[in-house]
Structure 1
């Protein structure tokens, strides 16, 4: 069995490389942020007042673990957690000015790291790669622990 021909192994390596490139860009800029925290900030910007459970589903992250991610963002002053007026059990989230500023600094860095990730491919190959990855996630997303497609 050749690991270079196993999609799962290649996907794991691709993820490792992607995470390393992300970490390098954040480190150079002095931003302390993980890829999951970045995804959470992006979604909170897109959906102000989103609740934690919905956030977990939207970014395909485990509902149990998302609390720790949000806790760290709150501790960094990037996110504010507040109680829903209609359902006191529901915790809603919004970006603080620090979170918005961090996100605006991080977005071009993430774009650069993502471009570097696929830089060995032609523009057409990049589109194909993303389309094929989306197709697999759409088809099999319910098989993951998060039961979320995209």
Structure 2
């Protein structure tokens, strides 16, 4: 016999980290577009340009690891950025199947032009917290994304396309491999 609504265990969404992180991501993406415009880059494209600005000439696999993406998404996004004239993808002579990536002058200009909006976004997002909570919030987020099992190196083998396997499915295989 199915449970009635009164018999079901209540689920408080505000106590679920996944729900809160999804909502936080929605807020961040909306703020990104409000501050840099919808005709500009996507947040993902921006992240790739920042990583390339800081690491010119790296290969796509290394770029994927730096921004915590799977290789195919990184490659697809790099193709789009190249089509916009923002990056150059050159075949690595030493690694025949890999490509070395660099910003073009136009890519550098786009990135520089976005900095004011990006700083405004950061200020607006952090303003949601008291000044003494802002650095703690950033530190906790860094700790969370850098925790064991959260780094691209640890999870890369478990990513298929854009979806990672549930952590419960990974637990047994990791224990056996350590």
Q: TM-score, normalised by structure 1?
A: 0.89
Cα distance per residue 1:73-120 (max 9 Å; x no partner): 001100001011222222010000000000001122112112211212
Partner of 1:58: 66
> Do 1:60 and 1:147's aligned partners in 2 also have CA atoms closer than 8 Å?
no
Partner of 2:25: 15
1:85-124 → structure 2 map (5 Å cutoff): 85-124=93-132
* Structure number, greater radius of gyration: 2
User: In 2 relative to 1, CA 141–123 (structure 1 residues): closer, same or farther, beyond 3 Å?
Assistant: farther
In 1: Cα distance, 2:30 partner to 2:148 partner:
26
Unaligned runs of 5+ in 2: 1-10, 157-178
Alignment RMSD: 1.9
Partner of 1:139: 147
Larger RCO (alpha carbons 8 Å, 6+ apart): 1
Any runs of at least 4 consecutive aligned residues in structure 1 with deviations exceeding 3 A, and if so which?
Answer: 140-146
In 2: Cα distance, 1:32 partner to 1:120 partner:
25
Stretch of structure 1 that moved more, 134-143 or 34-43: 134-143
Q: TM-score, normalised by structure 2?
A: 0.76
Aligned length: 146
Bigger helix share: 1
